Amino acid sequence: MPTALLLENLHPLATQILTSHGIEVVNRTGALDEDDLIAALDGVDILGIRSKTTVTPRVLEHAPQLSVIGAFCIGTNQIDLAGAATRGIATFNAPFSNTRSVVEIAIADIIALTRRLTVFNDEMHAGVWNKSASGAHEVRGRTLGIIGYGNIGTQLSVLAENLGMSVVFYDSAEKLALGNARRMASLEELLEVSDIVTLHVDGRAGNAGMFTAEHFSRMKQGSIFLNLSRGFVPDYAALRDEINAGRIVGAAVDVFPHEPKRKGDPFVSELQGLPNVILTPHTGGSTEEAQEAIGQFVATKIRDYLTTGSTTLSVNLPNLALEYTGASRIAYLHRNVPGVLAKVNQILAAHDVNIEGQLLGTRGDIGYVVTDAGSDVSADAVAELAQLEATVRLRVLD
């Protein structure tokens, strides 16, 4: 029976899906550091995590039984994807399941900051009645600058326009503008015209530190800043300085370069105590609806990989969409070198295995051959395939 270790308080639906297919599930709250994770993965086939657990090369080296990782979140930069691929460990994430939740909190932050609701709320709790329109604005007619025009950025663009905002965006990749949104030729051009700037970039290493003190200084007087993407993208010390100087009049931050691993752990940031600043604990995608959708999506991908060999939407292996046929199936991950398919078929022919269907996919240095056999595959044939020099991982699914 395969064993799954699920960390970081994943939705119960994930456990339900896995256990219903004969998988033994162990749930643990919070994230684990490297040494604790290595110890916990002894004898584990499946690992489920969110964004706080880091799967390093050392972790992979000490987890020979691990065959699949589920990232129950959008990002996968916390996982050594290349290292996992070379060991034949399939990795899946949930790139779309919490898009709406992140977009909604962005809209809520934009309205709250533009109307200075945080300031009024603090004053009221302190017993101060300050009925004033000073500094409070409608979002209608204001310009929203979106940096990163992917799944979240595009959906935010549409909803912002429905609120009467003008939308401009910048993305390093070529993207089709939705509605009346306008593409800016440079990040600097976007900053010059935006009343509100919001980051929605991915976690690739090249985005680390991309929003610098110079970028903050280029923002319009009286503008607002949001980061709901990655904590290592902006210079938060520079943001603090611009808020204290009055150039930026509000900010909402949901992600930080160093985040506590467990609920209740202490948190410190240079942005604490600043006026009209909303700080949330990386909960942009944490709604009950989103977490249920993520739990279902990723757990289903893990189940399908284990039962059929399907790698659809895997982020590190060749993508093959497979269904269960009832035949003996050989799922063979290998180094992508010439002649592997011919050698596989030669071995199968020598052991009188009739091939009913076969698919091959490649991705970088990794190849994936899935063969459906019309007869039982002998242990000798499996052993000979496993001994091929190019072999990464071999499974026979009945």
Parallel/antiparallel/unpaired status of strands 143-147 and 166-170: parallel
Determine if residue 242 is left, alpha or beta; phi over 0 gives left, psi from -120 to 50 gives alpha, anything else beta.
alpha
Q: Which amino acid is at 285?
A: G
* Exposure letters 321-332 (e unless 16+ CB within 10 A, then b): ebeeeebbbbbb
Instruction: Tell me the two tokens of residue 37.
Output: 């994770």
| Whole-number Å distance between alpha carbons of 233 and 222 | 22
Q: Is 259 a residue of the active site?
A: yes
Catalytic: 230? yes
Considering 189, 259, 356, 384, which one is annotated as catalytic?
259
Burial label, 388 (beta-carbon count in 10 A; 0-12, 13-18, 19+) = middle
Residue of 100, 282, 303, 334 marked active site: 282
Q: What backbone phi and psi angles, to 5 degrees, belong to 101?
A: -65, -45
- Helix axes 151-162 and 99-114, enclosed angle (nearest 10): 50
The CA distance from 33 to 393, in Å, is 27
Q: State whether residue 250 is helix, strand or coil.
A: strand
What b-and-e string marks burial along 7-42, b requiring 16 or more CB atoms within 10 Å of the CB? bbbbbebbbebbeeeebebeeeeebbeeeebbebbe
Angle formed at CA 158 by CA 116 and CA 227, multiple of 5 degrees: 50
Active-site entry in 142, 230, 240, 334: 230
| Rounded alpha-carbon distances, angstroms, from residue 142 to 138, 197, 367, 386 | 8, 11, 50, 62
Strands (E), 158-215: 166-170, 182-183, 196-199
Nearest to 330 by CA among 362, 357, 361: 357
State the catalytic residues: 230, 259, 282
